[in-house]
Chain A
Amino acid sequence: MIAEGKLELDLAWDGQRIAAAKVRSTRPVFACRVLEGRAAEEALRLVPLLFSVCGRAQAVVAAAAADAARGIEADEQTREERERAIAAECLHEYVWRLFIDLPALLGEAARPGDLADLRRRMPAEAGEAEWLDIAADAEELLEQRVFGMRPRDWLALDEARFARWLEDAALPSARMLAKLRAFRCGAPRAFLPWLDETALIQDIAASLAANPAFAAKPLWRGRPAETGALARQHRQPRIAQELAANALSARLLARLTELAALPAQLRRPQAAGVRGATAGEGIGLAAVETARGTLIHRVALEGERVMRYMIVAPTEWNFHPQGAFARGLSGAAARDENEARQAAALLAHALDPCVAYEVKVNA
């Protein structure tokens, strides 16, 4: 039986700093090949069962890649449903990071009850009217438990008011952001740009065709690249300013900024996240923006049969052996092994792998 795999993160610590960080992944990145030989319809049903951790995004990107392979375009209602499914899953993932994972790393109380509450309000299937309710519920939860004000008001804070918000010690999200500013590591090198139709064909499809193992260690034009909220938001003035001071807090701020905009996206989805590209007869690619970053599927169909299936997932970009995690830790100051371990855990959290990881420190 195949397992979901994990990331082994080995740090070389020289007594003062992390000299190097090695990443070894046992993720079965070619497991999607189990879809090969099946009818396209069946493959589309199986995708969310196989990859149910981010099942909604996986189902959406698979459907969009199949559309592109068949040379058809989804109607507006389908496109809206897809955007909402992605936004709902992104909300769930961001709230998980914020209520469970990050508190554990920063000595704060985890709040699984609040996440369970959100999950109860988000049914797997929803019609137009239910989505409006879900958006209203999400907005209320974010107001009460994350921002201390309506998310849209938080997004509109000017610099002085934002600085005051950060000092609100009663708010766990503000407190955690302030705490992250004390850690120095993880400066980003290169971001994965927005992959449009041209980039999907000329860069991603071409790389996958030249070397199928690209999916395990993807590069953007020959270099490792970071994907995720910071890669999408780093040009926003407030985030750029935070990034100039601290990379870990900037990644959290980018996440919070996207989180605050999600209720509006649920209410009235802007067709922005899902894009497809036809790379040849029967060959479709699609990319979607998930909480963890850009998720890409490529499907080759012969008639309605899947001949080849490839997935390039965010974890493989961020945890590339020379990627954002490995390079971001190299040289980071750490007075003892525990500090080295915590820096690694905080950067791993910021880059958000979709599997468990294990940190080892070799002195």
Chain B
Amino acid sequence: MCLAIPVKVVELHDGDQATVDVGGVRKEISLALVDGIAVGDYVILHVGYAIQKLDPEEAEKTLALFAELGENMGTAPA
């Protein structure tokens, strides 16, 4: 049950590397497992690798869901 949060690609580098924005924090990741990623695309990140490209609508829906999750939804039911 692994939450997978969409991140935005902000820079492409040589050797299948890229910089993404994870909630305001920039992070280096690998694009070796997915094809055709451009700056501005949303990808799902898993342990340092982009594993899936999301279409913008899907990414927005997912991000809205995570925003809604907030903090209190992460707690056990009473």
A interface list, Cβ under 8 A from B: 1-5, 27-34, 46, 49-55, 58, 100, 112-113, 115-116, 119-120, 212-213, 215-216, 295, 308, 311, 313, 315, 354-356
Contacts and interface: CB of A to CB of B under 8 A. Distances in A.
A127 B26 CA distance: 40
B4 A46 contact: no
A116 B32 contact: yes
Interface of B: 1-5, 16, 23, 30, 32-35, 44, 46-47, 49, 51-52, 58, 61-62, 65-71, 73-77
Most buried by A among B4, B16, B51, B58: B4
7 closest A-B pairs by CB = A313-B1, A112-B32, A53-B2, A354-B2, A52-B4, A28-B74, A4-B3
Nearest to B23: A1
Contact of B2 (A2, A51, A115, A213): A51
B76 A212 contact: yes
A45 B37 CA distance: 25
Contact of B46 (A53, A116, A295): A53
Given A4-B2, A4-B4, A51-B4, A213 B68 contact: no
Nearest to B61: A49
Nearest to A117: B33
Contact of B33 (A1, A46, A116): A116
A92 to B, nearest CB: 9
B1 A34 contact: no
28 contacts: A1-B5, A1-B66, A2-B3, A2-B69, A3-B5, A4-B2, A4-B5, A30-B76, A32-B1, A33-B75, A33-B77, A34-B65, A49-B58, A49-B61, A49-B65, A50-B3, A51-B4, A55-B4, A112-B30, A115-B33, A116-B34, A116-B35, A119-B33, A212-B76, A213-B76, A215-B76, A216-B76, A308-B77
A31 B73 CA distance: 6
A50 B65 contact: yes
Contacts of A215: 76
B31 to A, nearest CB: 10
Most buried by A among B34, B51, B76: B76
Contacts, number: 106
A215 B34 CA distance: 33
Given A30-B75, A49-B61, A315 B35 contact: no
Contact of B67 (A1, A33, A46): A1
B17 to A, nearest CB: 12
Contacts of A53: 2, 4, 44, 46, 51
B4 A31 contact: no
Contacts of B44: 52-53
Contact of B74 (A31, A50, A55, A356): A31
Contact of A112 (B33, B66, B70, B74): B33
B62 A355 contact: no
Nearest to B58: A49
Given A49-B62, A52-B52, A34 B68 contact: yes
A58 B33 contact: no
A257 B20 CA distance: 37
Contacts of B35: 116, 120
A112 B33 CA distance: 7
A4 to B, nearest CB: 4
A2 B1 contact: no
A311 B73 contact: no
